[in-house]
Structure 1
Amino acid sequence: MSSSSSPQGNGTNITKLTNCRLVINDSLVSSDLFISSQTGKILEPSSSTLVPDVTIDLQNRILSPGLIDCQVNGAFGFNFSSFTSSAEYKENIHTLNTKLICTGVTSYLPTLTSQTPELYHSVLPHLGPLDPTTISENPYYPRGSSIYEKTERSRNRIRAVIRRPGNGSESLGAHVEGPFLSPSQHGIHDLSVLHTTVSSWQDVEEVYGHANVSSLRRGGKIKMITLAPELSSTVSIIPELVEKGVVVSLGHTEASLSEASAAVRSGAKMITHLFNAMKPLHHRDPGLFGLLGLPEDQKKELFYGVIADGIHVHSTIVSLAYNLHPQGFVLVTDAMHLSGMPDGKYEWVNGGRKEWIEKKGSQLCIAEPPSPSLPPPSHPAPSRRSSTSSTSSTDSSHLAYLDRETRAEVEAERAAIKEITQMEKKDSILSPGCAAMCKAKAASLKAKYGRREKEMMGEPKKKGRQEEKETKEKKWGGIAGSSATLLECVNNLLLWTGMSIPKALASVTSTPAEMLGLESVKGSLQPGADADLVVFGEVDVEVEDLLGGSGREWGWDCCRGCERMMGGSWNLVDEVLVTCSLVSLERG
């Protein structure tokens, strides 16, 4: 890729992208693209009569609108549902944005799982879309700074300053996934924070906060809400949410087709991760999936998200859903904070409680908490009475910290239990009476040892009724979100369906933009749209070639080693070149 400047066009504030294939509808069109480096917008074709300040040769690469992910719970170690302080939270968001853009995602919906009202009130003010009228709230350009005073005079210029390439990906508003969800389809959401009824609009405001659920035009922070339509009175609040510009999505639900259809008639237009955490398809009542089989005039404004990571949904089912309603197909990642992290067990704040998720390659699973670390050998051995270790392990390594008398008793009891257990297994050679005595003795010793263990190792805290219920329902190893990138999902879609590149990219650009009501500014290369751009290279292109010329000077950023980060192969692209509007803004 090469870049050049022309003195004839000095002062036009126009950047020309040439020798590229534009993603226009379902086709790749060889054409040039002109961008205003003053407003960060794509210009009318008539701008070709002007001489640009900068011309960038893309060497026949594919130029696409930036990718949009409508369900990102976190990434790179940061969880949107984890809050400590405002300053730290803002910094973590900025760090995530600068990393997320390197995966091709230029805008997204930061997603919150079901939480307490207190947490919603704390984090939602930080997750709203960028608004030029509230630049004073931007931590990087505070009121009173020279940049603020300069940009206050022009709304377009304000937006240009906020959306610098260096700020990375852009939030389009929060996606609150819950807490109005079905308890029987809660997935990994904490049962204790779910709300199963909505008596009035006041309930919604109390949960999320009045200001947060206001119209986005008036400073609201929520762009999408996932709810279960079969819950009491939830359908009644849908029209007011829609009036405020909030997209209502159906998910984590036991809804029948009739209940789902009623919600759609009330204004719901999205389905959250189709097939996951919902009533399964049945030939007598297809549930939410049945919405895709409605007549075209009834589903023309219906959209649905699919996690095409190869784990959540079978490839054949993905193809089936797409073929039923391609116009509403939206790829999402449902990425958790472990996305982009090495394998291992990680802590997760779930509804105010700490739980654990294990990452193995691209798969995330609910995990048992790791065993607490043992005290170092140099610590004094606790007495039998005072030992309060929280572990319930009966591993022999714990015996080293017991006094000699107790250790001898425990070892003797263990030996006896082992011997009698072996005898139990051979009860065919024992008389019925002897076998019964052996079993009784074993039970007695086990009960005695169990009491002794509680004395030595500490009595475990008794679980409450709700926690016991959750433990019974929860299975270690259950799916716990995704660690895939949106590009990996796009490549899976290409592999599974054989569709064209423009059609696959539509599921992460124009279709989600239309679903969000942002088709005039996002997910498009049409004049007037934001110049959120991704350049895709062919599989044999080296990253050094993409960084040729002075591309870095104009705010272009490159994803180094998407393949290394994901640990997989790519079917569409080898490397990604990203610009988040205003490619020449770095000049100041």
Structure 2
Amino acid sequence: MTVVTKYFNCNVLTDGQILPKDLWVEDGRIVDPDIIFYDLRKSPDVEIDCLGSLVAPGFIDLQINGAFGVDFTHSCGEGLDIVRKGLLQYGVTGFCPTIVTTSESSYHKVLPKLKRCAGDELGAAILGAHVEGPFISEHKLGAHNITNTKTLEQTSMTDTYGSLENISIVTMAPELEGSMAAIKMLAEKGIVVSVGHTSADMYTGLKAVENGAKFITHLFNAMLPFHHRDPGIVGLIASSPSDNRQMYFGLIADGIHTHPAALKIAHKINPKGLVLVTDAISVAGLSDGIHHLADKQIELKNSKAYIADTNTLCGSTTSLDECLRCFINATDCSVPEAIEAVTLHPAQVLGIENVKGTLNFGADADFVLLGNNLNVLSTWIGGQCVYKNKKGSGFVVKKN
């Protein structure tokens, strides 16, 4: 027997607008109330008063290396469930666990554990792994270990990763020998290719896009700076591929990795391609001290993470909902635009926008109730509440 739930007294983000309307859910999916109420003559089994909350699709993070003391590259195992559960408090209902450049044996050990799974009361959905490396430029390493970088002349992707089965996104430098053929192969398999950790010029970047690349990893970070005669990879956000495909790009809006002016420029140039990511690492949610990112020691001090004994930033400690608020403050963009950068756009990158990142009819009933300051009041997966804020959940259940 199916249960029909009506969520009322809410403001719902739909098609780029926030509208006062009801939300109806049946069998874990958003449904058309006209079909339920008028055609089938069925009243809701449960009514939930959302107390005027903003209802937005569940957030999606395409780049997160770990959190709560768990580093996906260094020690995944049971820690994956800790992160899945912990992310619910930030409104995240789906994510791509990210593996930085590591050894072949580590890829073979970790990637089989990152199987796609649906979200539930145990945590957010795993939407496939994001492998950031090892096919990256030795000149734009960031926090990656140069001893583990590779070229496609040295090894194949299958040998490196063991299998492509659990991978959704591959970050690679398009200037490396053999990259174009690899980009084309991955794109044909439905794997998203993201250009990043690269010294490529714009011409090489455009060639990568023509071969199937569709995403840019943490724009402005670990790539050549913008130059007016050769904009580099940054220039791709203003490009128009020959087949008119949308170019997407990740931005770390944590107030540290990307200057507010850079955030504003990126938003003005290509708002439809903008995707907010955390690039969070194991220290997210922890206190200052020494921790791990893959095989490197990192130091957390004053909410900033550095490779130990250096001044090199190595990932963010900020949650996705905080990035959302940071981005709005920096760009003065509309709330719907900002929310789509953590919902619709990342879903479009993965090609799952029919079921995730939206509250259209037929989509999964994954959503978040937000307060006046866009603070997370409660998180819902398949129409079931999986997280409540202790200061107020934003809803009251009324069973019929």
- Mapped partners of 1:250, 1:223: distance in 2: 14
Q: CA deviation at 1:299?
A: 5.8
- Pair 1:207-2:154 in alignment: no
Question: What residue is the counterpart of 1:13 in the other structure?
Answer: 3
Paired residue for 1:279, among 217, 224, 234?
224
Q: CA deviation at 1:556?
A: 4.4
- Mapped partners of 1:310, 1:111: distance in 2: 21
Q: Deviations over 1:508-555 (max 9, x none)?
A: 000110111000010000111111110002249997xx89xxxxx963
Q: Is the 8 A contact 2:60 2:343 kept in 1?
A: yes
- Pair 1:245-2:195 in alignment: no
- Mapped partners of 1:186, 1:554: distance in 2: 42
Q: CA deviation at 1:251?
A: 0.1
Question: What residue is the counterpart of 2:265 in the other structure?
Answer: 320
Paired residue for 1:508, among 330, 342, 347?
342
Amino acid at match of 2:139: S
Amino acid at match of 1:536: L
Amino acid at match of 1:207: T
Question: What residue is the counterpart of 1:96 in the other structure?
Answer: 83
Q: How does 1:52-91 map to 2 (within 5 A)?
A: 52-83=44-75, 89-91=76-78
Amino acid at match of 2:235: G
Paired residue for 1:557, among 381, 387, 390?
387
Paired residue for 1:360, among 296, 301, 304?
301
Q: CA deviation at 1:42?
A: 1.2
- Pair 1:181-2:140 in alignment: no
- Pair 1:42-2:30 in alignment: yes
- Mapped partners of 1:163, 1:324: distance in 2: 34
Question: What residue is the counterpart of 1:126 in the other structure?
Answer: 113
- Pair 1:310-2:255 in alignment: yes
Partner SS, residue 224 of structure 2: coil
Q: Is the 8 A contact 1:12 1:51 kept in 2?
A: no
Unaligned residue ranges in structure 1 (runs of 5+): 1-10, 84-88, 131-161, 214-219, 369-475, 548-552, 562-574
Q: CA deviation at 1:297?
A: 6.2
Q: Relative to 1, partners in 2 of residues 1:314 and 1:541: Cα closer, same or farther, differing over 3 Å?
A: closer
- Taking structure 2 as the reference length, what is the TM-score of the superposition? 0.92
Q: Is the 8 A contact 1:104 1:576 kept in 2?
A: no
Amino acid at match of 2:300: K
- Mapped partners of 1:554, 1:269: distance in 2: 33
Unaligned residue ranges in structure 2 (runs of 5+): none
Number of aligned residue pairs: give it.
Answer: 390
Which has the larger Rg?
1
Task: Give the helix-richer structure, 1 or 2.
Answer: 1
- Taking structure 1 as the reference length, what is the TM-score of the superposition? 0.63
Partner SS, residue 281 of structure 2: coil
Q: Is the 8 A contact 2:209 2:241 kept in 1?
A: no
Percent of pairs identical after alignment? 38
- Pair 1:235-2:186 in alignment: no
- Mapped partners of 1:242, 1:324: distance in 2: 25
Question: What residue is the counterpart of 2:287 in the other structure?
Answer: 342
- Mapped partners of 2:244, 2:266: distance in 1: 13
Partner SS, residue 22 of structure 2: strand
Q: CA deviation at 1:560?
A: 4.3
Partner SS, residue 198 of structure 2: coil
Amino acid at match of 1:259: T
Question: What residue is the counterpart of 2:14 in the other structure?
Answer: 24
- Mapped partners of 1:256, 1:311: distance in 2: 25
Partner SS, residue 234 of structure 2: helix
- Mapped partners of 2:8, 2:200: distance in 1: 50
Q: How does 1:448-527 map to 2 (within 5 A)?
A: 476-527=310-361
Q: CA deviation at 1:358?
A: 1.5
Question: What residue is the counterpart of 1:263 in the other structure?
Answer: 208
Q: Relative to 1, partners in 2 of residues 1:507 and 1:269: Cα closer, same or farther, differing over 3 Å?
A: same
Task: Give the strand-richer structure, 1 or 2.
Answer: 2
- Mapped partners of 1:540, 1:287: distance in 2: 35
- Pair 1:115-2:102 in alignment: yes
- Mapped partners of 2:374, 2:237: distance in 1: 39
- Mapped partners of 1:489, 1:77: distance in 2: 20
Amino acid at match of 1:97: R
Q: Is the 8 A contact 1:34 1:48 kept in 2?
A: no
Q: How does 1:350-389 map to 2 (within 5 A)?
A: 350=295, 355-368=296-309
Q: CA deviation at 1:198?
A: 3.7
Paired residue for 1:534, among 368, 388, 391?
368
Partner SS, residue 78 of structure 2: helix
- Mapped partners of 2:65, 2:186: distance in 1: 22
Q: Is the 8 A contact 2:321 2:375 kept in 1?
A: no
Q: Deviations over 1:165-212 (max 9, x none)?
A: x2111110000000000000011100001013346xx71100001xx3
- Mapped partners of 1:298, 1:263: distance in 2: 13
- Mapped partners of 1:168, 1:253: distance in 2: 34
Partner SS, residue 369 of structure 2: strand
Q: CA deviation at 1:498?
A: 1.4
Q: Is the 8 A contact 2:11 2:19 kept in 1?
A: yes
Q: CA deviation at 1:62?
A: 0.5
Amino acid at match of 1:104: G
Q: CA deviation at 1:32?
A: 0.8
- Mapped partners of 2:104, 2:228: distance in 1: 39
- Mapped partners of 2:177, 2:363: distance in 1: 41
Q: Relative to 1, partners in 2 of residues 1:540 and 1:188: Cα closer, same or farther, differing over 3 Å?
A: closer
Q: CA deviation at 1:261?
A: 0.3
Q: Deviations over 1:11-52 (max 9, x none)?
A: 54111111111101221011111111xx31111232234211
